[in-house]
Structure 1
Amino acid sequence: MHKASALANNIKLLVLDIDGTIAGHDNQVSETVKQAITAVRAKGIHVAIATGRMYCSALRFHEEIKSNLPLTAYQGAWIQDPNTGEIHRHLTVSPQIADQLLDYFEKPQWRSLLSVHFYINDQLYVREITTNTASYAERCGVDPIPVGDLRQVLTDKIPTKVLALCNDVDLIKNMMGDLRLQYTPAELYMTTSVATFLEVANPFVNKGYAVRYIAEEILGIESSQVMTIGDNFNDVEMLEYAGIGVAMGSAPEPVQAISNWVTPSVENDGVAIAIEKFLL
């Protein structure tokens, strides 16, 4: 904590997660948080988004916080500058592994429990539109494309990310453990952004790599000049990378444990409170 306080005067970049961080149950950014972000930008500090969401789904948040930096989507697999259209990074899951994952997720014992999402060229492909997929799509503001057998899209398209969605949190946890025995970190990046999502991406993907790219390659600053705020396991790498890593009050205990400070939940404007403490 003392280290974080000492670094606060030197912060040049603030990176924010979306869901559970700046957007709560209502899927909106509160006026209090917007005002805090505006005050940060007025001090000359850059502000950026790093999310597991699709690029198209994250765009309105990027615009709301008036970021002038590239937007990090899909846990860092896709980094694009909305102002110029330039894609700085796009890392994909190999078609072979995507095919293997589909075999795994479509095992008879849990085929009916899982909704499998393939994200290809910033579009969402699904076998069918389940209740879970419909809820997800409504929150994200996207139109899923049902194709029946997902294997047919793998013949000429490569997924940016694969997601298995299920209401059974224990099943997601067990699948994660099982897949980590089958694939090394050099083969796949696996994480959860919420307890019901199992997300899979290219092994060179995580928010820490993405934030490092924005900080060091684009802005030419060091990790000690970065502050990040997030609420779940997919935020761990960027919380660890930053000079000041802040976890939301709703974050799982292991995520809180690796952060420099824990702020109140999104429903209590935790981002604004953290900004006030360290940056204003």
Structure 2
Amino acid sequence: MSSRPEPPQRPSVRVTVAQLQVSDDHTANRQVVEDAFRTAARARADLLVLPEYASGFDPRGVGVEHAEPLDGPFVAMLRARAAATGVAVLAGTTLPADGDDPRAVNAVVGVDAAGDVVGVYRKVHLYDAFGQHESERLAPGPADAAPLVMDVGGLRFGVLTCYDLRFPESARRLVDAGAQVLVVPAAWAAGELKAVHWRTLAIARAIENTAAVVAVGQAGRAVTGRSLVVAPDGVVGLEMDTEPQVRTVDVDGAALLRVREQNPSLANRRYAVVPVV
């Protein structure tokens, strides 16, 4: 864990959104991610956000065959490229489950600009919906685990993953932990109304939490793509189509504070979020 002091907040934090097409070839995927780091570094980004399952993906389902430990080649590459470029990263990956559990874990790893792993979020809500049964291949993360909130440029980025977007209490728990920007790496399944749900839910999470939302989807077969960045007032500032692409945006911390002053809904609420364990 990094012990470096939190940097002063700058007027904005530059975020590179990498809507990647991911295959089951882990070596090839690492090359694609390295290319995204180079793009982020050229743009002088502070943070690179990769989609869910950026280390390896199969649209038929991801399981233990794609799992790598935290000291494996994918996270080692993230750490090396972050240290070399000075760009922090939030990246979806797949880890082995603990103990004798034969399943894997859907996770997001946070690495700071010095190359240190600052935290890991293990996906709580598994996609047992719309005919899918993710829990057959993946073990859920503990609902009462500490939220992953990472400081970048004085803004606090909180992490949830894909299906978590449908559960507003997940986002609210991150905001309670200090998150000002909600980051959602995803491989959002394609299908009827799925793109509508993805966009609507991302905007809703922004408005109800007066938080910016950086929702980064995979591109390719059986997934939706359509990454978007939403301001805390619900205005969509960046929206992609279904093709692989890498774009960079500035997240305005001062504007976020103004929205929270004008709309103090967080201060006005009367219910707390309590994990069900």
User: What TM-score bracket applies, with the shorter chain setting the length?
Assistant: 0.3 to 0.5
More strand by share: 2
Q: TM-score, normalised by structure 2?
A: 0.33
More helix by share: 1
